[in-house]
Structure 1
Amino acid sequence: MTIRVLVCDDQALIRTGFTTIIGAQPDMEVVAECGDGRSAVDLAARTHPDVVVMDVRMPVLDGIEATRLLAGAGVADPVKVLVVTTFNLDEYVYEALRAGASGFLLKDAPPAQLLSGIRTVATGAALLDPEVTRQLVGRYAARIRPADGTPGYSPLTPREREVLRLIAEGLSNGEIAAALVISHETVKTYVSRILTKLDLRDRVQAVVYAYRHGLVT
């Protein structure tokens, strides 16, 4: 199966680099490229990509609003969005995750990581860099936690709550298995139950949910 990719970045040099790298892969095809979020939304409607590689800060319509229009709640046919960012500059990438992005990468990530990220997101999985996740979501934890502090994870068992906490701290399934001394398959079962009980789409939403409800500080 060929992964159809739309590349959106207002910096022509970066956009060309991404397009060249992605287009050289036998299992990927760049169906369109553009330099602003509005064009990304319009092109996605015409070309039906599997994954949109999305910058955050762009003219006309920024990546956050474009992501919301492509993958947000209520979108009839959501597109998977992989946000790429310069971490120290794009302080609102968290909002892109809330808007429906399936994950994010740093712009200085090596090409192999970009390609792996596209393949991961295309399968329906979420892509979270553990260290960046801790810094990014943790930085805005206070502003995203509900004012009344009401726990929103009551449907979860104590063990599921612990797994959710470790997910929110950026641990992979393998790292969670090692930390809790359980099998990798058991972790996958816990993750699936957590997403189902809390009506969450993926691990990105689980991270946001945990911070939002004060499970992680």
Structure 2
Amino acid sequence: MTNKEKTPASVSIAVRAADPVSLQGVEVLLRRSEGMTVLAAEQATGADVVLVLANEVTEVVMSWMEAASAMSANPGMRIVLVADRISKPRLARAVRYGLVSILPRAQSGFAEILQAVLNSRAGGAQMPGELLRSVIEELRALLRDTTGSALPGGFESREIEVLRLLADGLDTTEIAAKLNYSERTIKNIIFAVTRRLNLRNRTHAVAYAIRIGAL
């Protein structure tokens, strides 16, 4: 019996873009590319790769990546970002959400984007050296609070802020206004905490944080 050449596994991909023209154009090109399966919005939770296109990474764009991380049913999900501007703190947060590759939008054509998608699916990463150094520095800082000790229970500083305000009796709308985030971002933070720590709900999350001394 002769050995048959293996067919590469299809890469399922969800696309988010700041403008509909970019979204439609990239989706058309991806559908024409061998081995690519473009998922509809309602199927995005199963994506292998989430491709995000934006000129500047705003808090809205960050909420896309945060939601992709929080709602993903695929533990191997990776994010590829094509953007011209992203701040260092947002870059560090994006890495925690699953970002593995970032390409400068003004200098990247579809061929480069497609290669980054394939590389990320295969476990690769692509990031300019200066940005990579920034990520490492920011991540080190995020592992410490202002006293230099590790945050209790492995909570992130933003999670502690949200849980503290929940403990004070604020609802998600009030917390969003106080922290200058969208209400969806606040809900995603709460969802991420409860899922990661296997907690039943936000009340359980607050009680747990109080019990371990995080609040």
More helix as a share of residues:
2
Highest CA radius of gyration, 1 or 2? Answer: 2
Q: TM-score, normalised by structure 2?
A: 0.50
Q: TM-score, normalised by structure 1?
A: 0.49
